[in-house]
Amino acid sequence: METLYKELKQYFDVDEFSVQKASLAFLRVPKSQLVSLLTHMKDIRGYTHLVMVTCVDYLEQDSFLLTYLLHNYSTHCDLGIQVSISRQNPVMDGIHHLWEQGRVYQRELFEMFGIDFPGSPDVHEPMILEGWQGPPPMRRDFDTKAYSEATYSHRPRDHKEPEEYMKQQLYPED
């Protein structure tokens, strides 16, 4: 994987390379070079399988970290390509022209994190959250407990201490 990183370094501004194990590594790429790097990996390096696209919300650094995980079937290696985008303007280039299934991930990312992918098919259609009107729920500044308490009615709890309760049940005369 280190040789791959050195070769990629000649063409792209990749950095923060980290090897997790012999067959898994991650690297960081600027937002503008992501699609060209993915095209390079798919067409030339043999990373033909898009395993997943996922997102982490770094609220403190005011950024989303997108991870595109690719798999190479001939070497059985995984490469995670990470790109950090601004939290204030979460717009990203789509990869549905490279992998058709990418549009499902992009729909999910729009629904859960509010990251827009202009041009991606059906990206603004509801997928899981039908009729959702609140903010994107997987963002860390969304308070799911407060939303739940405001939206749904909770069953009042009939709380019994298990130890006391079982004592009364089993040995009522004590």
- Residues that bind another protein in the complex, under the rule CB under 8 A: 126, 128-134, 137, 142, 144-145, 147-149, 151-155, 157
Q: How many angstroms separate the CA atoms of 78 and 160, rounded?
A: 51
**Smallest gap from residue 55 Cβ to another protein (A):** 17
Which residue number, 57 or 78, has a Cβ lying nearer to another protein?
57
Which residue number, 90 or 136, has a Cβ lying nearer to another protein?
136
Q: How many angstroms separate the CA atoms of 56 and 33, rounded?
A: 20
Which residue number, 24 or 138, has a Cβ lying nearer to another protein?
138
106-112 contacts at long range (C-beta below 8 A, 24 or more positions apart):
106/53, 109/53, 109/55, 109/66, 111/136, 112/55, 112/136, 112/137, 112/138
**Smallest gap from residue 132 Cβ to another protein (A):** 7
Residue 109 contacts residue 115 (beta carbons within 8 Å): yes
Which residue number, 73 or 132, has a Cβ lying nearer to another protein?
132
